[in-house]
Copies of this chain bind each other. A is one copy, B any other.
Amino acid sequence: MRSIFRRSLLVSGLGFLTLTAHAQTTAKTDSVNIRKIYDEALLHGQSYENLRYLTGRIGGRLSGSPQAQLAVDWGKVTMEKLGLDRVYLQEVMVPHWVRGAKEKGEIKPAKGKGISMNICALGGSVGTGGKLRAGVVEVKTWAELAALPADKVKGKFVFFNRPMNPVHIETGKAYGEAGDQRRNGAVEAARRGAAGALVRSLSLAHDDFPHTGAMRYDEAVTKVPAAALSTNGADELSQLLKADPGLTFELEMSCETLPEVKSYNVVGEIKGSKYPGEIIAVGGHLDSWDLAQGAHDDGTGCVQSMEVLRLLRATGLKPERTVRAVLFMNEENGVRGGTRYAELARAANEKHLAAMESDGGGFTPRGFNIEAPAATVQRIQQWQPLLRPYFSGLFSAGHAGTDIGPLKDQANALIGYDCDSQRYFDIHHTAADTFDKVNRRELELGGASMASLIYLLSKYGL
């Protein structure tokens, strides 16, 4: 299916010199048009004010929540104001997990007063059904857990305390390496008969914020509650355990999973002037964890994706291929929106030239990660020089994104917007993921670099 879109600029009836002159003119035009996109973004960008509304007026918007529905309504209205060719919703059923009113953790030393801990339930966890008090056994690896005698685990909290590795320059790599504790901690602890799981927050910062995030159960294994400790809290618990291995932990969480809820992806599009059947999708996820405002995760990706359409409109750069912004629902705990989008595209026999995602925060751009055959990656890399003046010219092969992942077999290329990653995991899935952490210029520059690559894709195809 991919080959039908391949058109090489180099395969041409023109002679070499003519082609070179033509290529030069083309590069000049592209350079001028990309400058127009950046000027518009830096002078009149609307991402930042859109994000202020989404984060400040709607706030955290976990799938199934009333705020998620408000966000859908807001996304639709905001796109309708852009004067697009089409704005519509895609219905999708989503999980509905709620945190509930009670969320408390306390270390109970063998002697002396309890020590209150900042904790939060991991997303999808069962509640504790009142207070759950148990001993604690600390592990750093799955091998350590496997090696523990049964009586050391049974009825205890397994405390997963492997830190993210700070030596990785890409923080995402450290996140990837440590994330198995959060996702699988509860089920693996329960398999050994544990009462629950306490997980060190996935963060490279040393602070008091617990980080939530998705975890999973296995229907064949008892569901035990799972909570995150802040990095400081995890260090403290580890320290206390050394001196007082008999301490207990008291956890109380009233979170629960309610019946699924009908929700929506929000879609807006500009029809391609020459090849309307060739689609370039660009999106972020509209849902966010409930602890904060979902600013960098992923309000920024949503407002940038809508801004791509606005920038193309405002600069008068009519795309030859169809450009579609998608606000995906339920990336955080199910990827139902991304899955549904791909299903509907397949059912409608839609042809995706490319799908782009912004879900690494709204930080200073670096470039893009491209998931495609090597030849396609190289073809896209030819455009690097056009983005280098904007410090956005680093196009690498790599994982593109979660919401566009289900399109893998339907798109010539999946493209992840890549930006500076140093601060992202400090605030990711915490109460600190708020609007004030987003810098206006960094955000608008990101939208401009996304729009620039999409302009090129829409002009030249793949």
By a beta-carbon cutoff of 8 Å, the part of chain A in contact with chain B is: 38-39, 42-43, 166-167, 169, 171, 204-205, 364, 366, 389-391, 420, 422-423, 426, 439-442, 445
Task: Provide the bound-state CA to CA distance between A204 and B443, in Å.
Answer: 14
A38-B167, A38-B169, A43-B166 as given contacts; A441 in contact with B389, CB under 8 Å: no
Is there an interface contact between B422 and A364, defined as CB atoms closer than 8 Å? yes
Interfacial chain B residues near A171, Cβ < 8 Å: 441
A295: min CB distance to chain B, Å? 15
A364-B420, A420-B364 as given contacts; A441 in contact with B43, CB under 8 Å: no
A433: min CB distance to chain B, Å? 15
**Known interface pairs A364-B364, A391-B420, A423-B441; 11 further A-B residue pairs with C-beta atoms within 8 A, sorted by A's residue number:** A38-B169, A42-B167, A43-B166, A169-B389, A169-B390, A205-B440, A364-B420, A366-B391, A422-B439, A422-B441, A422-B445
Interfacial chain B residues near A420, Cβ < 8 Å: 364, 391, 420
Q: Which residue of A171, A422, A439 has the most chain B CB atoms within 10 A of its CB atom?
A: A422
A139: min CB distance to chain B, Å? 22
A410: min CB distance to chain B, Å? 32
Task: Provide the bound-state CA to CA distance between A426 and B420, in Å.
Answer: 18
Interfacial chain B residues near A39, Cβ < 8 Å: 167
Task: Provide the bound-state CA to CA distance between A423 and B422, in Å.
Answer: 14
Is there an interface contact between A426 and B439, defined as CB atoms closer than 8 Å? yes
Task: Provide the bound-state CA to CA distance between A391 and B419, in Å.
Answer: 11
**Of all chain B residues, which has the CB nearest A441?**
B422
**Of all chain B residues, which has the CB nearest A394?**
B391
Interfacial chain B residues near A205, Cβ < 8 Å: 440
Task: Provide the bound-state CA to CA distance between A167 and B45, in Å.
Answer: 11
Task: Provide the bound-state CA to CA distance between A389 and B440, in Å.
Answer: 27
Interfacial chain B residues near A423, Cβ < 8 Å: 439, 441-442
Interfacial chain B residues near A204, Cβ < 8 Å: 441
**Of all chain B residues, which has the CB nearest A170?**
B391
Is there an interface contact between B441 and A166, defined as CB atoms closer than 8 Å? yes
A116: min CB distance to chain B, Å? 24
Task: Provide the bound-state CA to CA distance between A389 and B445, in Å.
Answer: 23
Interfacial chain B residues near A440, Cβ < 8 Å: 205
Interfacial chain B residues near A166, Cβ < 8 Å: 42-43, 441
Task: Provide the bound-state CA to CA distance between A445 and B421, in Å.
Answer: 12
Interfacial chain B residues near A426, Cβ < 8 Å: 439
A167: min CB distance to chain B, Å? 5
Q: Which residue of A166, A366, A442 has the most chain B CB atoms within 10 A of its CB atom?
A: A166
Task: Provide the bound-state CA to CA distance between A51 and B442, in Å.
Answer: 25
Task: Provide the bound-state CA to CA distance between A423 and B420, in Å.
Answer: 13
Rank and list the top 3 A-B pairs by shortest CB-CB distance, nearest first: A42-B166, A422-B441, A364-B420
Task: Provide the bound-state CA to CA distance between A38 and B166, in Å.
Answer: 10
Task: Provide the bound-state CA to CA distance between A171 and B444, in Å.
Answer: 14
- 29 inter-chain pairs at a CB distance below 8 angstroms, sorted by A residue, are A38-B167, A38-B169, A39-B167, A42-B166, A42-B167, A43-B166, A43-B167, A166-B441, A169-B389, A169-B390, A169-B391, A169-B445, A171-B441, A204-B441, A205-B440, A364-B364, A364-B420, A364-B422, A366-B391, A391-B420, A420-B420, A422-B439, A422-B441, A422-B442, A422-B445, A423-B439, A423-B441, A423-B442, A426-B439
